[in-house]
């Protein structure tokens, strides 16, 4: 896959986030793609990936993901991102509705003519659970 083709694929993916469009996000992934994240481990297949996007947009209906320019070395691309949102319901447990989430993370993907065939996300999932009230932290003594 060429650099230009990867840039176009990532632009479609970014646009899906901007529109909060679960279907558009899912279709940027190949049918049998893998999705690896601290929140889910590794899942496989476009339907499972669609479910992840739907889960996050249900938990954070106003979720906005912004990203820096991708570093592209075909067939791979990687980028840093920031996620902001307001909890509206279940998020890996009971949340404080209205709590704000702010995360910084990084992603790396492998692309093919079929779309994103593998993606790996790195972010502070425990911190997100603490900020939404799902997990309690005991102060150190």
Work out the average pLDDT over 36-54: 93
Residue 98 has pLDDT above 80, yes or no: yes
Residue 124 has pLDDT above 70, yes or no: yes
Listed in sequence order, the residues at least 6 apart from 140 whose beta carbon sits closer than 8 Å to its beta carbon are none
Residue 47 is predicted with a pLDDT of 97
Q: Kindly indicate the confidence band of residue 115, based on its pLDDT and cuts at 50, 70 and 90.
A: very high
Q: How far is CA 52 from CA 25, 34, 57, 60, 71, in A?
A: 10, 12, 9, 12, 25
Placement of tokens 């991708």 in the chain = 70
Beta strands in 39-75 (DSSP E): 41-44, 64-67, 71-73
Q: Which domains does the chain carry?
A: 3-131 (3.10.450.50)
| Average pLDDT for the chain | 88
Q: Kindly indicate the confidence band of residue 87, based on its pLDDT and cuts at 50, 70 and 90.
A: confident
Do 133 and 111 touch, CB atoms closer than 8 A? no
Looking at 2-16, 17-31, 84-98, which range is the least confident one? 84-98
């Amino acid at each position: 896959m060429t650099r230009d083709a990867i840039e176009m694929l990532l632009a479609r993916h970014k646009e899906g986030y901007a529109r909060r469009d679960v279907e558009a996000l899912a279709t940027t992934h190949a049918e049998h793609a893998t999705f690896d994240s601290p929140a889910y481990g590794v899942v496989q297949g476009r339907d499972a990936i669609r479910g992840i996007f739907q889960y996050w947009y249900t938990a954070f209906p106003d979720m906005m993901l912004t990203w820096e320019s991708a570093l592209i070395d075909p067939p791979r691309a990687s980028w840093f991102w920031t996620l902001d949102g307001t909890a509206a319901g279940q998020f890996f447990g009971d949340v404080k509705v209205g709590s704000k989430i702010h995360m910084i993370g990084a992603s790396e993907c492998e692309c093919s003519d079929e779309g994103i065939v593998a993606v790996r996300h790195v972010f502070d999932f425990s911190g997100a659970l603490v900020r939404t009230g799902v997990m309690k932290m005991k102060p150190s003594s």
